[in-house]
């Protein structure tokens, strides 16, 4: 087995591989020279001559663009939509890979409601050109035809009307009655597909067509229009295969997750043909970049669209695959690395660039294990299914394991589309800022040989540029927003032009996304090293002063926005308390790090007690009542809001209250004040958890 591993590595002999040769030999030497009867992993760890940081350097030296490219090629041979036989084959591929590395491997199966197209047609009646069948893009590809998962089956015949991004403000600016029309919208400005369809539905539209614009955009963007996360038939609990509770498809709680009017995606070219043909009032200036080839009119009509949508909902089996590396000292503490595996088509970028990297991190970890390394805490590599339908695989698993994750998970590290192009982009909860910054200084930039990722990242952004995790667009959402687990999301490149289309293939990746696969290797370095630090550092590398400072900034922004009409004093007070506790904790950690060498029972317990407080503080931001109208989302700092202001991607419950009172044109101060208090109490809970004292 290890011979296979080594020979696989040697197909491209470079200096890196000479190093690897050394480690292969060293690995065999250590394996061979080990006494046969080990009592436990613990003995092994204490015997290993290297400190963990030595293994961390070894991890970085095992970088290989070759292995990762081979994994990606295998994963993307066939389209592998969730719930299909080809989807199941990728689960088998990942499982076999983990097993061949001798890692403890597990598969969790769920039965969930997925949605597939049956028959879709679109005809346009142009006033000057007559009737034409349109919207038939990506013909000839052996992939699922462009559709919206969970869009209802139905027919619509109506005048075409352009509504820009489909936001409330767009309809206000448009000023026409879209009732009975087929609304065409461009994707963007943070509007979700489902949100766009619902907004049109609320105005009486008959159907919605969405398109993605961009000079290099190719193909048609598939996607889900379901609201909320996870299996719609088991909201809030895991949809176990045998004998679990399931709601009826006709239950109103299920129906509420889906739009009532049909919708589908169309290509940029189809959209242009429709938009060019419209008459009616002139559109606002800001919309005109979308209508380059037209006379800047948005309809409705005279073009009439005839759209028939037949989509089938089906119960399907999905498979999450795991590799578990048990911790030697704290096996009941988990560091999770997760990526989804299911794809709309071939998935070379989305998501299998991340899967290939996950498999490569597994290869490197298995290698370290041969050298005698065991993590201090348990590391779990997770390969999710059915993310594209609404984070279903991860959400079902999280719901099914909520007790153990809530009490034992240290961090969740997500990588979805690992490589979309050049340059690092990353988001995280703020206690992880310092650690991630530190890690970026340890990994070489994949595109410029003599600098680190940190140099390129900060150079390009003229400083540190970290995003936060209020979006619900990948598998970190259930971990952070439902269970309060500190989380990270990262990727290289942004806004790739073949998103969710038939062109997201190995060919696109090897010609455009990452021709040398060095960006893949760089993500493997960052992701794997980040997990190693979280798994091996005796004291968890969490900085809650960063969190407190970030919360203070958020509060100032909102307070200024409301021009002092409502007091934010309750939040400022609890943030101050959190900051004070965070500073005490840093002192405590410093002292324990100095004592690091001594391993008396007392010191071991002191470290464990501090680590528990560091781990659990994030859970304080959860509120049992969750977000109003969206109670599954429990986190009051990060979560989805009604996007009334795209700059405000924090404190979702307060943002929603402000948005409601703005829309109703009536200052609903009592509701806003109540939400301010709820956030203040959540921050105080985090401070109390970090302090670990009863009041």
Ligand X SMILES: *[C@@H]1O[C@H](CO)[C@@H](O)[C@H](O)[C@H]1NC(C)=O
Q: Interface residues with ligand X (CB under 6 A)?
A: 65-66, 69, 121, 123, 157, 177, 179-180, 306, 308, 516-518
By DSSP bridging, strand 130-133 and strand 148-149 are: unpaired
Q: Which is nearer to ligand X, 74 or 315 (CB)?
A: 74
**Close Cβ partners of 564 (under 8 Å, ≥ 6 residues apart):** none
280 torsion bin: left (phi>0), alpha (psi -120 to 50), beta (else):
left
278 torsion bin: left (phi>0), alpha (psi -120 to 50), beta (else):
beta
Smallest distance, Å, CB 517 to ligand X? 4
What are the CA-CA distances from residue 366 to residues 1, 36, 55 (Å)? Answer: 11, 19, 12
Smallest distance, Å, CB 121 to ligand X? 5
Answer for the pair 182, 160: CB distance below 8 angstroms, yes or no. yes
**Other beta carbons less than 10 A from residue 302's beta carbon:** 15
Packing angle of the helix pair 52-61, 518-536 (nearest 10 deg): 170
> What's 145's DSSP letter?
P
> What's 452's DSSP letter?
B
Which contiguous run of DSSP H or E holds residue 491? strand 487-492
* Three-state secondary-structure class, residue 10: coil
* Three-state secondary-structure class, residue 434: helix
> What's 284's DSSP letter?
P
CA 187 to chain centre: 19
> What's 62's DSSP letter?
T
Smallest distance, Å, CB 14 to ligand X? 7
Which contiguous run of DSSP H or E holds residue 492? strand 487-492
Smallest distance, Å, CB 349 to ligand X? 16
Answer for the pair 347, 367: CB distance below 8 angstroms, yes or no. no
Q: Which is nearer to ligand X, 306 or 552 (CB)?
A: 306
Give buried/exposed letters for 507-519 (b at 16+ CB in 10 A, else e): ebbbebbbeebbb
Smallest distance, Å, CB 351 to ligand X? 20
Q: Which is nearer to ligand X, 177 or 467 (CB)?
A: 177
Answer for the pair 16, 64: CB distance below 8 angstroms, yes or no. yes
Catalytic-role residue among 272, 330, 387, 399 = 387
**Close Cβ partners of 344 (under 8 Å, ≥ 6 residues apart):** 79, 81, 143, 144, 222, 223, 350, 388, 500, 501, 504
Strand partners, 320: 108
Q: What are the backbone dihedrals phi and psi of residue 471, each rounded to the nearest 5 degrees, phi first? A: -70, 165
Smallest distance, Å, CB 453 to ligand X? 16
Q: Which is nearer to ligand X, 96 or 179 (CB)?
A: 179
**Close Cβ partners of 431 (under 8 Å, ≥ 6 residues apart):** 486, 542, 543, 544, 546, 547, 614, 617, 618
387 is catalytic: yes
Q: What's the farthest any 2 CA atoms get from each other in the chain?
A: 87
* Structure tokens, 503: 């062109």
Smallest distance, Å, CB 117 to ligand X? 15
Q: How far apart are CA 354 and CA 488, in angstroms?
A: 14
Which contiguous run of DSSP H or E holds residue 676? helix 669-691
Smallest distance, Å, CB 150 to ligand X? 22
Length of the chain equals: 695
Smallest distance, Å, CB 260 to ligand X? 17
* Structure tokens, 653: 């419950």
Q: How far apart are CA 250 and CA 1, in angstroms?
A: 52
Q: Which is nearer to ligand X, 135 or 338 (CB)?
A: 135
Smallest distance, Å, CB 409 to ligand X? 35
By DSSP bridging, strand 182-186 and strand 207-211 are: parallel
Smallest distance, Å, CB 175 to ligand X? 11
Catalytic residues: 387
């Amino acid at each position: 087995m290890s011979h296979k591993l080594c020979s696989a590595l040697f197909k491209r002999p470079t200096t890196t591989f000479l190093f690897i040769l050394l480690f292969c030999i060293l690995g065999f030497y250590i394996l061979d020279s080990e006494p046969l009867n080990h009592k436990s992993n613990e003995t092994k760890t204490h015997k290993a001559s290297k400190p963990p940081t030595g293994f961390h350097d070894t991890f970085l030296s095992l970088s290989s663009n070759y292995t990762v490219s081979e994994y990606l090629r295998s994963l993307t041979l066939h389209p592998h939509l969730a719930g299909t036989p080809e989807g199941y084959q990728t689960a088998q591929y990942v499982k076999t890979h983990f097993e061949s590395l001798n890692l403890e491997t597990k598969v969790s199966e769920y039965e969930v409601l997925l949605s597939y197209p049956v028959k879709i047609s679109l005809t346009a009646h142009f006033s000057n050109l007559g009737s034409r069948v349109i919207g038939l893009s990506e013909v000839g590809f052996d992939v699922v035809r462009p559709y919206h998962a969970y869009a209802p089956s139905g027919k619509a015949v109506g005048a075409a009307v352009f509504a820009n991004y489909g936001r409330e403000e767009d309809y206000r600016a448009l000023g026409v009655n879209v009732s009975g029309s087929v609304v065409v919208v461009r994707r963007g400005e943070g509007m979700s597909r489902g949100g766009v369809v619902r907004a049109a539905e609320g105005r009486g539209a008959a159907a919605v067509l969405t398109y993605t614009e961009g000079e290099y955009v190719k193909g048609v963007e598939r996607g889900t229009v379901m609201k909320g996360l996870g299996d719609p038939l088991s909201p809030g609990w895991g949809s176990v295969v045998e004998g679990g509770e399931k709601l009826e498809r006709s239950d109103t709680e299920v129906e509420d997750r889906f739009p009532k009017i049909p919708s589908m995606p169309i290509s940029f070219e189809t959209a242009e043909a429709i938009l060019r043909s419209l008459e009616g009032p002139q559109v606002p200036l800001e919309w005109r970049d979308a209508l380059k080839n037209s006379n800047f009119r948005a309809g409705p009509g005279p073009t009439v669209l005839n759209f028939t949508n037949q989509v089938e909902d089906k119960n399907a089996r999905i498979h999450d695959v795991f590799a578990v590396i048990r911790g030697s000292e704290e096996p009941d503490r988990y560091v999770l690395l997760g990526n989804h595996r299911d794809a709309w088509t071939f998935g070379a970028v989305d998501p299998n660039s991340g899967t290939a990297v996950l498999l490569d991190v597994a290869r490197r970890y298995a290698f370290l294990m041969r050298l005698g390394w065991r993590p201090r805490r348990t590391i779990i590599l997770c390969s999710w299914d059915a993310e594209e339908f609404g984070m279903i695989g991860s959400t079902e698993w999280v719901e099914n394991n909520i007790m153990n994750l809530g009490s034992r998970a240290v961090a969740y590290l997500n990588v979805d589309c690992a490589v979309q192009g050049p340059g690092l982009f990353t988001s995280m909860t703020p206690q992880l800022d310092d650690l991630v910054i530190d890690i970026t200084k340890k990994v070489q930039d994949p595109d410029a040989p003599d600098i680190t990722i940190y140099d390129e990242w900060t150079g390009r952004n003229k400083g540190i540029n970290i995003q936060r995790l209020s979006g619900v667009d990948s598998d970190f959402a259930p971990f952070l927003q439902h269970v309060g687990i500190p989380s990270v999301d990262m990727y290289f490149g942004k806004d790739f032009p073949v998103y969710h289309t038939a062109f997201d293939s190995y060919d696109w990746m090897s010609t455009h996304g990452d021709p040398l696969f060095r960006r893949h290797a760089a993500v493997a370095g960052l992701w794997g090293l980040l997990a190693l630090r979280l798994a091996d550092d005796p004291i968890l590398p969490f900085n809650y002063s960063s969190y407190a400072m970030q919360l203070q900034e958020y509060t100032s922004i909102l307070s200024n926005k409301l021009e002092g009409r409502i007091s934010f004093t309750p939040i400022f007070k609890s943030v101050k308390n959190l900051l004070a506790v965070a500073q005490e904790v840093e002192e405590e950690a410093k002292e324990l790090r100095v004592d690091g060498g001594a391993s008396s029972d007392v010191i071991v317990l002191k470290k464990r007690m501090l680590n528990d407080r560091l781990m659990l503080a994030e859970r304080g931001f959860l509120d049992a009542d969750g977000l109003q109208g969206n109670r599954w989302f429990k986190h009051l700092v990060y979560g989805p809001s009604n996007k009334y202001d795209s700059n405000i991607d924090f404190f979702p419950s307060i943002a929603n209250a402000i948005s409601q009172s703005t829309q109703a044109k009536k200052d609903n101060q009592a509701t806003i004040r109540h939400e301010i208090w709820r956030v203040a109490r959540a921050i105080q809970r985090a401070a109390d958890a970090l302090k670990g004292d009863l009041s």
